Chain A
């Protein structure tokens, strides 16, 4: 004790700076993965700059009416000189959101059910076959989905649309006036749903397969039925992943071009009536117009691309927020 008293209060040192010198191999590896990690950012940035540069003239001229009006006309005189132009994307933006939303609404329940079946019910042999079929479906060219949607799905979907209209027609979005039921956002949405089911299914299956075994066993040991184990343990755990997968699907549905172009009747008029045969989306507009566009209209299409790009970015940002909020709770 006396010795301690003689020393007096010990001086508190300031914290040391702790550093490490990584080896060359570590630095090299770090450089390689950093390049990979930043490449997506660089590519995305370059695309945005390109679209912005090309579309700036149109955006400056049209201003806010570019996204609030629905007319898209290019008037030329007999010499082929442009005399007047109006570019408005509103109908296409509404169509983009509407079709994508319908697609997600249909695809997510189907995909989650499929993922639950594959993870918890399917016998191993069937599971292997189904998983490879679903992966194949994800790689299927979208034009074929479009053709199939147009020629095979349309007649049935038209019938469903009429049924929905008959019994739920009092809800404004299910009104159809005049009675044109083909080539509607609903049918485009169904085709898009089929296209995004593989991606949502495989992501959901992946998160279901990571459900901690000890929690599943704990639930079974408490006398739970399989359905109750899924409901109480697997679904809360997988919720964040399912939301994330759905948002990837939503992104794909918003950007889908050819299938929508094939199925949908593209009309420059805002249409909220999902069963009515009129609509469009930004990507299919670009495809429709690109072939015959003159340099000036191409600029307008670039501007449309930029708007779609920003819309997708915004939706993904919202999705990330949702995942961040709901992801941790069940884990």
Chain B
């Protein structure tokens, strides 16, 4: 990207003021978390990440920082590698047969792919919420929240308090407090997704990855989850993949635009969210955020 093209884009963006830009301008500013960066660590950094599925090169050379206590949205059309990228960030990528990656992902400066790393500890620190709500159907609501403790064999002295705290933070407590012993599957889709968020919170992750967490939900549930994301970003680093640009504009501090143009997916541009939606540097970003394709 040359300065010349940047200026061109700037002019175009000014010429077509988008409503998204005004939404993004009102979004939360980074660095407003109350706990300070010490409790949050120094965040997550991806360094020249590539990903393959067998011979298919799905993602090329993505370097992206996720400063502690910020929300970063990954946007882009389907098949651009954003989901693949988010899955390399907590080593879920490697579950797909034939999957490979290159580059480094640093959590607090330490490579999570370093040989000898206990991958279960990495995933405890970097939690994940999936596109489709996936509570454990054999467990009650309460058991679902605490399932991470059981799965990772962690001890917690006061499970009831933890359960309540996580459900409150996920914005679900008031709806389920009287039926914690009901099965997770008895909740609506939006409630199930918030249950999954509560479950991810119970193991106290530093980073929370969300892969299109609202794509299967109605607008009301989406709103609740967005509120939850804003509250959570006070205490953790959040990366969210979304197809919904309004959502990216509403919840994120930074936005990264991904695109696969025939070849592997690449990150085209990253900047503060308000800038991406008002003055994108790259023409392709502007085309995407203004709805010209994708």
Contacts and interface: CB of A to CB of B under 8 A. Distances in A.
Contacts of A220: 92, 95, 123
Interface stretch (B73-81, B130-138, B169-177, B238-246): B130-138
Given A215-B134, A233-B136, A237-B138, A221 B120 contact: no
B153 interface: yes
B151 A229 contact: yes
Contacts of A237: 138
Contact of B138 (A217, A225, A229, A330): A330
Interface in A159-181: none
A224 B128 CA distance: 13
Contacts of B203: 222-223
Contacts, number: 76
A221 B127 contact: yes
Interface string A41-62: 0000000000000000000000
B120 A214 contact: no
A153 interface: no
A219 B132 CA distance: 14
Question: Which of A217, A218, A221, A224 is packed against the most chain B CB atoms within 10 Å?
Answer: A221
B90 A221 contact: yes
B196 interface: yes
Contacts of B95: 217, 220
Contacts of B124: 222-223
B148 interface: yes
Contacts of A228: 150-153
B146 to A, nearest CB: 10
Question: Which of A124, A212, A224, A229 is packed against the most chain B CB atoms within 10 Å?
Answer: A224
Nearest to B122: A223
Contacts of A212: 134
Nearest to B144: A218
Given A217-B92, A217-B95, A222 B151 contact: yes
Interface in A201-234: 212, 214-215, 217-225, 228-229, 232-233
B237 to A, nearest CB: 16
A232 to B, nearest CB: 6
B82 interface: no
Contacts of B147: 219, 222, 232
Nearest to B153: A228
A232 B147 CA distance: 9
A88 interface: no
A95 interface: no
Contacts of B92: 217, 220-221
A325 B13 CA distance: 62
Interface secondary structure of A, over-half rule: helix
A330 B137 contact: yes
Contact of B134 (A124, A218, A229): A218
Contact of B152 (A217, A218, A224): A224
Interface in B91-148: 92, 95, 97, 120-124, 127-128, 130, 132, 134-138, 147-148
A212 B199 CA distance: 18
A188 B147 CA distance: 43
Contact count band on B: 20 to 34
A331 interface: yes
A222 B200 contact: yes
Contacts of A229: 151
Nearest to A235: B138
A330 to B, nearest CB: 4
Interface string A268-284: 00000000000000000
B128 A221 contact: yes
A233 B147 CA distance: 11
A214 B137 contact: no
Contacts of A331: 137-138
Contacts of B200: 221-222
A229 B123 CA distance: 13
Interface string A218-259: 111111110011001100110000000000000000000000
A214 B132 contact: yes
A223 B201 CA distance: 12
A140 B124 CA distance: 48
B151 A232 contact: yes
B5 to A, nearest CB: 39
A229 B127 CA distance: 16
A329 interface: yes
Question: Which of A212, A223, A224, A233 is packed against the most chain B CB atoms within 10 Å?
Answer: A223
A223 B132 contact: no
Nearest to A216: B95
B268 to A, nearest CB: 28
A329 B151 CA distance: 19
Given A218-B134, A223-B152, 8 more contacts: A214-B132, A218-B135, A219-B136, A221-B127, A222-B124, A225-B153, A228-B152, A233-B136
Closest 5 pairs (CB-CB, A-B): A223-B124, A224-B151, A221-B128, A222-B148, A223-B152
Interface of B: 90, 92, 95, 97, 120-124, 127-128, 130, 132, 134-138, 147-148, 150-153, 196, 199-200, 203
20 contacts: A212-B134, A214-B134, A218-B130, A218-B199, A219-B147, A220-B123, A221-B123, A221-B200, A222-B147, A223-B124, A223-B151, A223-B203, A224-B123, A224-B151, A225-B153, A229-B151, A232-B150, A236-B138, A330-B137, A331-B137
